Amino acid sequence: MLKLFQSIFHPGADKQGAYPEDLIERAIERAVDTTDGRLRALPRYKKSLRPAIIHAIDHVIAMVDNLPPPLELSRRSFGSNAEVSNYFASVEDMEEILSRDAEMRQWQKSSDNVLAERVVMLLIMVMRERNVLGVALEGSEVRRDVAQVTVSFSKHRTVDPTAVEDDTRRLLKRRAFDHLLGLALGNIAEGHGERRDLERERDLLRLKVAALAGGRWGFGDDTTGEATDPEAVQQRLAEIDTQLGTLGTGLLQSNLDTLIDVLSRAEQNFRWETVPLCIDRQGVKQAQPSMMAPETTLTVLHNSAGQSVIVRLVSIERADLPKPRDFLREAQGFLG
């Protein structure tokens, strides 16, 4: 059974090109469990998967290791760091977002983190650009109805918070590898809708995709709200796999080929790029950097399903952690 929240990466075993055999073995079994456990019925499935698995591991380790150092989030940095002020409308907005973030609340509640000096995590956001008509100063003349582009960030959420940067990066490597597996599962599911007798298998595979999303599996912006209980997610996955096990195995080679294809082309299916951005305090995009609109660098994550999000490794010192919101008390106050 897939251990949804266990990492295949361990300290000392996540450096590119130096993988112990047990890491490769765990990665192969995780790939099979995540997509279609029936693949084990195929002869030499491990040998067939091995080169693609190693290629995918190489890719995700390089991706995560090349992310820049964490960006400090605090009242101080909001006033002094243009990148922080780009991501949030105000200090109050930043603290409000962090105080109601599901992953942050869980991390703060855990007794394991009581003595942690800081938290390191990945911040995920959606960037929106809008064409508007605004006011601009050209020389000493104020012009109105000037075509402008405004930039804003929304749907903030955090993933994989830990007290140690290396631990967060290790969890992100697991998440990136799993994201590739999720893309492969989606391709397998959608490839089974062409014939009526495959509809049941397609529907079950789609349910598996949905169950993984409920476990806050990937990097997308569609997993808002509280994370589903891990045990409930794993139980649901077990039920789906049991039902899949009662179906035929005629398309297993096709499923394996799809999985191998996605992992072998990991860099085409899942990648990030850096993009320069210059915006002023009103969120108006500028063509050139200036004191009022310094240049910052965005990390944009893309996948082959057409999704794109902004990601940034961030850190918060213990003294700067916002107090978690008490939703029960707020509800009681609202009801009087």
- Tens digits of per-residue pLDDT, 13-68? 566 667 889 899 999 999 998 888 889 989 999 999 999 999 999 999 999 999 99
Q: One-letter amino acid identity for 279?
A: I
d(Cα 187, Cα 35) in Å, to the nearest integer? 10
Q: Are the beta carbons of 117 and 320 closer than 8 angstroms?
A: no
pLDDT score of 4: 43
| Tens-place pLDDT, residues 162-194 | 999 999 999 999 999 999 999 998 898 877 554
Q: List the structure tokens of 45.
A: 């499935």
Task: Say if residue 69's pLDDT is above 70.
Answer: yes
Find the helix or strand (DSSP H, E) in which 144 lies: strand 141-162
How far apart (Å, rounded) are the C-alpha atoms in residues 123 and 313?
A: 6
What percent of the chain has pLDDT above 70? 73
Task: In whole angstroms, give the CA distance from residue 237 to residue 31.
Answer: 14
Buried (b) or exposed (e) across 221-241, using 16+ Cβ within 10 A?
bebeeebbeeeebbebbeebb
Kindly list the domain boundaries of the chain, sorted by start residue: 18-126+156-277+297-336
| pLDDT, averaged across the chain | 83
- Percent of the chain, pLDDT > 90? 56
pLDDT in tens, 83-107: 999 999 999 999 999 999 989 988 9
Residue with tokens 């804003």: 152
- Do residues 313 and 68 touch, judged by C-beta distance below 8 A? yes
Q: Which residues contact 195 (CB under 8 A, 6 or more apart)?
A: none
